[in-house]
Chain A
Amino acid sequence: MAKRAAPEVNAGSMADIAFLLLIFFLVTTTIETDSGINRKLPPMEESDEEVIIKERNIFTVLLNGKDQLLVEDELMEISELRAAAFKFLDNGGDGTCDYCSGEKDIASSDNPDKAIISLKNERETTYKTYIAVQNELVAAYNELRDIRAQALYGKSFAEMQANYKDVNWQGNKDKLKERINQIKIDYPQKLSEVQ
């Protein structure tokens, strides 16, 4: 019996097959965006009790149908909004806020706990502008919280939150949670939307 070597399988077309699959996946792939601005809607309430809030503690932001921005009765560009909101929140007019570094203007907000940002938009406002405004207002809060966290714990607030979510983080999560909550109490996010 003649010993014959088994003929080698021709693998030349393997690359073609793989390419075919590759191109299929390339075409069907859509990188899903799964990040965004989290908000909490106010619950439906039956009672209509009037809460009296002082005028100086409210920061009114109005977006009209032509996407123009009116902040505290003055026209403003979106690029200036963050700084204006920052100044308002960090004002500390009544002196009870010892960590605020604002101007302590008595005509502006009393303390971060009382300061409320009121956002009103019209039906014709475009979503893009609305998101831009929301983003700037959230950014103002985040900046303040970052500064506070840096002063208290030597870490930025964003970093603390990232650590809290990270399963591999070595450290005391209960303590971290407490610290995060402390900062949230110092600068509560009071953003109300008018219907």
Chain B
Amino acid sequence: MSKFNKKKSGDMPAVNTASLPDIVFMLLFFFMVATVMRQNSLMIENNLPFADQVEKLDKKDLVMYIYAGKPSENFKQYGTETKIQLNDKFADVKDIAAFIAAERADKREELVPFLTTALKVDSDANMGLIGDIKQELRKVNALKINYTTKKGSVLGRD
């Protein structure tokens, strides 16, 4: 039995955790840099469809976002119909013109022609609403649009 007792005499050195903070800080910095803070908090379900012929929107400050989808769990009182969301609020199709005008007024004049409208629409939405949005955008001459999608195969996944 003395075999086992021997171990006790030699003290196990504690694992040196001095570099643990460094490792954690490294991770922390990665996430801090990679994080993009959301501009709008979504009140709708926004499960984007998949597509693979996508182009990147590179100038983020020149993008106007229009969201559409069913009201999410917390906003059930607004019904189950697909709704448009502009800037943290539910909106109607006819509010789009005012929204675009406000966004344009925010930007420098020479940048206005480069504004793109990104449509972030839930995959289960009806095209009727999208058609109305597009019609409205044509009326205010905001012709550059982008159907925001996730990158993936169209056919394989739902």
Mask: chain A, 127-162; 1 = CB below 8 Å from B; 0 = not: 110111011101100100000000000000000000
> Distance (Å) between the CB of A64 and the closest chain B CB?
11
| Stretch with Cβ within 8 A of A (4 or more), from B50-58, B84-92, B94-102, B104-112 | B50-58
A51 adjacent to chain B (CB < 8 Å): no
Query: Please, how many angstroms separate the alpha-carbon atoms of A176 and B146 in the complex?
Result: 25
Q: Is the CB of B125 within 8 A of A30?
A: no
> Distance (Å) between the CB of A154 and the closest chain B CB?
22
Mask: chain B, 129-158; 1 = CB below 8 Å from A; 0 = not: 011001101110111111111110011001
Q: Is the CB of A142 within 8 A of B155?
A: no
Which listed residue (B27, B144, B149) contacts A131, Cβ 8 A? B149
Nearest residue in B to A137 (C-beta to C-beta)? B53
B146: A residues at CB distance < 8 A: 36-39
Which listed residue (A11, A22, A33, A40) contacts B150, Cβ 8 A? A33
A138: B residues at CB distance < 8 A: 53
Query: Please, how many angstroms separate the alpha-carbon atoms of A195 and B128 in the complex?
Result: 10
| Stretch with Cβ within 8 A of A (4 or more), from B4-12, B28-36, B72-80 | B28-36
A66 adjacent to chain B (CB < 8 Å): no
Q: Is the CB of B126 within 8 A of A33?
A: no
State whether A128 and B49 are in contact (beta carbons under 8 Å apart), knowing that A15-B17, A33-B150 are contacts in the complex.
yes
State whether A165 and B35 are in contact (beta carbons under 8 Å apart), knowing that A36-B146, A41-B145 are contacts in the complex.
no
A41: B residues at CB distance < 8 A: 134, 137-138, 142-145
Which listed residue (B27, B119, B131, B141) contacts A43, Cβ 8 A? B141
> Distance (Å) between the CB of A72 and the closest chain B CB?
21
Q: Is the CB of A130 within 8 A of B127?
A: yes
A contact set with B: CB distance below 8 Å: 11-12, 14-15, 18-19, 21-22, 25-26, 28-44, 63, 78-79, 121-128, 130-132, 134-136, 138-139, 142, 165, 195
- Shortest 9 CB-CB distances between A and B: which pairs? A123-B128, A128-B123, A36-B148, A18-B24, A25-B31, A135-B51, A125-B127, A14-B21, A132-B154
